[in-house]
Amino acid sequence: MWWILLVLLYGLLKGGREIVKKKSLEKNSVLEVLIIYTLLSFIFVLPGIKSAMGVDVRILLPIALKSLVIFIAWILSFRAIKQMPVSLYGVIDLSRVVFASALGILVLREELTLTVIIGSVLVCIGVLLCERRKNLKDEKVSFKIVAFTMISCFCNAISGVMDKVLTKHVNSTQLQFWYMLFLVLYYIIYIIVTREKIQFKSALKNYWIWILAIMFVIGDKALFIANRMPESRVTVMTLVKQSCCIVTILAGKFIFKEKNIAYKLVCAGIIITGIVIAVL
């Protein structure tokens, strides 16, 4: 039960992060938010450096690969959320349920119970209803932006499976330290190659980025601890994570004054029902 509560905490913080991302991108570019957000997050996990030094060198390559997958996912998701309503992004992001469940079964050989099957079907129905062409047209969202979100979902699903495997060999502090270090290195390389200018002073003054980093570190810590618990399952964890959509939909209504909120709440209701059934 504790691992479910930890994943629920991650899901709610993730929903909050989507709101904060949207606010932070009002003041700075995608890359500026990403690099400062990642750098601050790494600084927050630096106290774990002593524990991190005890990691087997052979495990660093798969951690670096996980960081690369997340590096790609973040660039695409930040570009997507900047150009679409946060409530719509939150529901389309639920597509990762399909990817993560499939990977959990194929890679980790997790058992596909009847409740998980019913829950997954309901989640998929909710996602498909939200992604109807008419709904996307009303929101003025291009196919490219939806594709960015879907690719990001797939990358996050891969990362979720890797978390389960990696936490068998490292603890949450070790994984968080090396994962963040590699991410910082990837962004440095990206900036050097693209020669894109970063307004560090402006980004550091953007308090939304600081809030984003704090929420990210706490959420990931909870998720990594949950992954380390033997009884936790990727298929169920992925469904519980989708509690984030309620946060983004409500924020879309009360903070960003977005459209079609009632329709999205119905979709989210179907999705949440699926999550509850899967967890039972």
For the stretch 95-135, pLDDT in tens is 677 777 778 888 888 877 888 788 878 877 876 676 564 45
Average of per-residue pLDDT values in the chain: 85
76 vs 110, more confident = 76
Q: What is the pLDDT of residue 163?
A: 93
Residue 210 confidence (pLDDT) above 80: yes
Q: Output the six-digit token pair for 1.
A: 């039960």
- Owning domain of residue 67: 2-279
Q: What is the pLDDT of residue 237?
A: 84
Most confident of 63-77, 107-121, 253-267: 63-77
Kindly tell me the sign of the dihedral angle through the C-alpha atoms of 136, 274, 19, 25.
Answer: negative
219 vs 260, more confident = 219
Q: 78, 21 in Cβ contact below 8 A?
A: yes
Residue 62 confidence (pLDDT) above 70: yes
- The string of pLDDT tens digits covering residues 1-42 is 789 899 989 988 988 898 898 889 999 998 999 999 999 999
Q: How many domains does the chain have?
A: 1
